[in-house]
A and B are shown apart, each in its own frame.
Chain A
Amino acid sequence: MTRDRYEMVVGLEVHVQLKTRSKAFCGCSTDFGAAPNANTCPVCLALPGALPVLNEHAVQLAARAALGLGCTVNPISVFARKNYFYPDLPKGYQISQFDQPLATGGSIAIGKDDKGDDVRIGITRLHMEEDAGKSIHDRYTGATAIDLNRAGVPLIEIVSEPDMRSAGEAGSYLRTLKQILQYLDVSDVSMEEGSLRVDANISVRPPGQSKLGVKTEVKNMNSFSAVERALEAEYERQCALIDSGGAVQQQTLLWDGARGTVRPSRTKEGSHDYRYFPEPDLRPLILNPAWIDDARKNLAELPDARKKRVGAEFGLSSGELDQLMATPALVDYYEAVARQSGDGKGAYNWVMGEVSASLRASGEDITEFRVRPADLAQLLNLVRDGTISHTAAKRVFALMLETGKPAAQVAADERLVQVGDEGAIDAWVEEVLQEHPEEAKRYLAGEKKLQGVLVGFVMKKSKGRADPKRVNQLLSARAG
């Protein structure tokens, strides 16, 4: 097996777009979907004489991300120019950070190993930089169209240690990283929208060898699973190359998802000489240690901690928690319902059941969902105190969604409030027995399994209002 002879060694570079209103160095909007070059100004067009001024919120978000990844935020970091020519890079250099980045030395746990210990992936550094614009090659024949709306949007680059040993670990790292950044609310972290981009460095070596093999860089992956597939493909390619007596060459490769292969980028190797030097238009970024401490203290609860706490507070299983934790908004919603209803399990069933189904159907985001946590908690309370039946509750929920009215009002309006009155229920039982003489006869003759069917008939007749416990009691009494 290849896998026994060669170990895969992977490090990832992840670019994440920060959630700011304006660009990193100018007041242009970061909104997507504007007309081409509508969100541009002298600064991001690199007009002669324009100068950058750093966005405060971008610094806050970058520091928050760094602290959430366990990095040390450096009190002094320095912006540098990375020089290269490309038509969507207006200044001819990208403002980035080089030898003095914002943050260094973090790590995140991506799961447990066989012994139950955390598998941790080191974070080498996290630095701030600006995005380039967009080159559109397929719009016009013989010409490339340049849109600079994106130019200058703030990014962070998160560079991992070469700590991953399989494509699966790389996938886990990316999912964990994405979740942390989501919980810190620093980015939309969507690969589809381009707010998260991944480049992979991969090499192979015989197990037990500590020296790293020659690495290649793989780019152009548009999903986490594409990253995993690309790593597998490149691993196989490198192993086969070495097996056939060849040697891996340091180069940049592009993943071709349609063919499932990597191919060399046309960029000439050695033509990259970015001539980094400190950006003279900005002074060093100086962060007060007290400010950094504050940022650390005010950090949102990280996913691991939150999972533990929510699990303990509401008695959910790890599997249930994983579902709820899919997005911070979902678990926020859940926690609010669970806390206000005092029913963790019930809240879970509703949130993962009716609520999720409605959201899937409508494509809405939970933050915009019409039934707010307090409304749902009221509905849960009505079920628990017997005011409405579970069956009726689903109808009430649907009507709440439709009308926006609170649960109690919907239940009253639709006459769905449960009927506990013995006389009324007994009358429905009597009618059902009359209307279904065959089932009635067999049931009264001792065929107990028919009780469920008869309860169903009664519930239907009562339009769900009959208290099913009472119905059962009354039927059992008749059967003797």
Chain B
Amino acid sequence: MAVTRDDVFHIAELARLGIDDARADALTAELSSILAHMEVLSQVDTAQVPPAAGVGAGGTPLRPDATIAPLMEQTLESFAPSMRDGFFIVPRLATHEDSSESGA
């Protein structure tokens, strides 16, 4: 399956990567070429292979429900690009813009 230029813009949007036209052309070619090498996988019969669920043997370990003071050697302010009154500050979003995604 060759990747189209539209595909590149679509996935760049999903990945929030700004790319310009020239870069999009180069990436279209590069990704198509890389994906061409992966076509070999479609010829492998995996019908009998159980889906690999997670990694390693045994179930995920569980943690007791206890609160622990976070061990942080620096304050949030030491690395945050923008903070005010303890909040992280980002450029304005309209109320409910994309809010369907938030907290879902």
Residues of chain A from 342 to 388 with CB closer than 8 A to chain B in the complex = none
Give the A-binding residues of B (Cβ under 8 A): 13-14, 16, 53-56, 58-68, 70-72, 76, 84-104
Docked Cα-Cα span, A41 to B68, in Å, equals 9
User: Is A143 within 8 A of B76, CB to CB?
Assistant: no
Residue A245 CB within 8 A of the other chain: no
- Please give, as numbers and ranges, the residues of chain B lying within 8 Å of A199 by CB-CB distance: 104
| Interface range for A | 35 or more
Stretch at the interface among A277-285, A294-302, A389-397: A277-285
Known: A22-B68, A86-B102, A144-B89. A286 touches B63 (CB 8 A): no
Known: A142-B92, A145-B87, A266-B96. A21 touches B66 (CB 8 A): yes
User: Is B92 within 8 A of A22, CB to CB?
Assistant: no
Mostly helix, strand, loop or mixed at chain A's interface? loop
Question: Nearest chain-A residue to B15 (Cβ)?
Answer: A85
Residue A72 CB within 8 A of the other chain: no
- Please give, as numbers and ranges, the residues of chain A lying within 8 Å of B55 by CB-CB distance: 280, 283
User: Is A135 within 8 A of B65, CB to CB?
Assistant: no
Given contacts A26-B70, A57-B64, 13 further A-B contacts (CB under 8 A): A15-B103, A27-B68, A35-B86, A36-B87, A54-B60, A78-B53, A87-B90, A89-B102, A143-B92, A144-B91, A145-B87, A197-B103, A254-B100
Docked Cα-Cα span, A137 to B66, in Å, equals 32
User: Is B65 within 8 A of A58, CB to CB?
Assistant: yes
Report the 9 A-B pairs with minimum CB-CB distance, sorted nearest first: A286-B59, A27-B68, A41-B70, A57-B65, A145-B87, A56-B62, A36-B86, A283-B60, A146-B88
Docked Cα-Cα span, A45 to B70, in Å, equals 11
Residue A233 CB within 8 A of the other chain: no
Question: Nearest chain-A residue to B57 (Cβ)?
Answer: A283
Residue A190 CB within 8 A of the other chain: no
Question: Nearest chain-B residue to A282 (Cβ)?
Answer: B60
Chain A, 262-296, contact with B by CB distance < 8 Å: what is the 0/1 string?
00011100011101001110111111000000000
Residue A100 CB within 8 A of the other chain: yes
A–B Cβ pairs within 8 angstroms, 9 of them: A27-B68, A36-B87, A42-B70, A56-B65, A59-B62, A84-B101, A220-B99, A284-B60, A286-B58
Most chain A CB neighbours (cut-off 10 Å) among B84, B87, B100, B104:
B104
Residue A172 CB within 8 A of the other chain: no
Give the Cβ gap from A101 to chain B, nearest Cβ, in Å: 13
- Please give, as numbers and ranges, the residues of chain A lying within 8 Å of B84 by CB-CB distance: 140, 143, 145
